[in-house]
Structure 1
Amino acid sequence: MIHLLFTLLVAEVVAVAVLLFRTPLRKLALLGLDRLKRGRGPLVVKTVAATSLVVLSSSLYSIAKIRRRSAEVSSELIPTDQVLLSRHLLEASLMGYSLFLVLVIERLHHLIRELPGLRKCMDAVMNRNRVLEEAKRVRLDEMKARDGEIGCLNKQIKQLKLTLEEKVKEIKTAEVNAEALRKQYEGSLLVYDRLLEENQNLRRQVQSIDRHWSHSDRKKNA
């Protein structure tokens, strides 16, 4: 039994070492494990594992029984119990390590089979990130170009504002000048009206003087 467990343990260690390193033997080991998981392979593995667990439980029970018996009889183990205890401990250790290595082999096989899919997913994610980075870079370039255009437009708007302010100042100056001209024109109209009125008064006076002289001349002639 112990020789069989040692052989099984060595085989499992070799299988783990083969699966850990990328060699041509790993492909053969993977093919063997794939075939083992098909058909009746899983049933056989479960049966062997269950048997190993039963034997492990039996060994642990025997160890506990020997210790309990030695505790009841005396504090020291007799040579026969020591041999049996050592044998059961060795068997339990070998079976425990064997079951642990079976789990390790199963997980390694599962991870190695999933590795290509994970790599594809990783490549897809990296390609997607690359596309997103490229799109982000393009957007940044577009944003920079838009910022440049916005800067140019802001400069043009400032220039237009300055031009508008100058035009507004010119319009205000023109309005002030127009108001001054209007007031000057109104003053000129007042002066013109006053002069026109004075002219009419002078004409009346001249006409009155003419009539007076005409009347005087008529009297002299008469």
Structure 2
Amino acid sequence: MIQLLFLVLFAEGALAFLLLVKIGPFRELVIKSLDQLKMGKGPATVKTIAGTMFVILLSSLTSIVKIQNKGAKLGTMSPMDQVLWRTHLLEASLIGFTLFLGFIIDRTHHYLTKLIQFKDGVESSKEEVISLQKEKMQLKEEEETTSKEMKQLKDELLSLSEKLKKLKFECEEKDKKLETAEAHVLSLQKQSADLLLEYDRLLEDNQNLQNQAQGYKS
């Protein structure tokens, strides 16, 4: 029993050491092994073993107390009682250290698992931050490109507005010239009509004069 407890104690010490000190891939292997141990019926088995060892521990402590009480009553312990007392004390100590190391290993594994999950979350958050920074840079570049395009469009709009004002001014000038030309045409048409009337009157006067001249000749 004592040899088995020493073996278990050394095994637990090695596991605790590998969990606390990272040596190559051994920590990951130990963590994976403990993860598998905590799946399925593993926790129930471990609790059963721990309960059994705790019962043995209580039994050893009870035996130690009985031997001490017996020695106190007799005033001294016999060599056999001393051997039994030391055996039970060693056994109780080994069981106590074994249970304590088992608890330390369990808590260390739990917190290491949480730490690994936290690191994974931090790495994922870093990747998300990097991705967001890249998107921010892209948006900033797109914003700068859009700003340049807007500035170009604004310049083109101002240029077109100036051209439109110029064309509008030229159109107004042409309208004025057209109105002046139309007024001049109307004036010429009126003069032409007056001239036609005057021409008709002169033809009529000429005809009358010719008629009068023929009358005199007769």
Which category describes the TM-score, using the shorter chain as reference length? Answer: 0.5 to 0.7
1:153 aligns with 153
How far 1:185 moved relative to its partner? 0.9
1:163 aligns with 2:163: yes
How far 1:182 moved relative to its partner? 0.9
Partner Cα separation in structure 2 for residue 100 and residue 160 of structure 1: 87
Matched residues, number:
171
Letter in 2 for 1:192: S
Letter in 2 for 1:130: I
Deviations 1:112-133 (A, max 9, x none): 1354454344323322331332
Partner Cα separation in structure 2 for residue 214 and residue 166 of structure 1: 70
Partner Cα separation in structure 2 for residue 178 and residue 185 of structure 1: 10
Question: What runs of 5+ residues in structure 1 fail to find an aligned partner?
Answer: 1-10, 57-97
1:129 aligns with 129
Letter in 2 for 1:155: D
1:181 aligns with 181
Partner Cα separation in structure 1 for residue 125 and residue 215 of structure 2: 128
1:199 aligns with 2:205: no
Give the CA RMSD over aligned residues. 4.7
How far 1:106 moved relative to its partner? 2.5
2:119 aligns with 119
- 1:49–1:99 CA contact under 8 A, matched in 2: yes
1:46 aligns with 2:39: no
User: Structure 1 residues 206, 23: CA separation in 2 closer, same or farther (over 3 Å shift)?
Assistant: closer
How far 1:167 moved relative to its partner? 0.7
How far 1:160 moved relative to its partner? 0.5
State the percentage of identical aligned residues: 22
- 2:50–2:99 CA contact under 8 A, matched in 1: yes
How far 1:148 moved relative to its partner? 0.4
1:208 aligns with 208
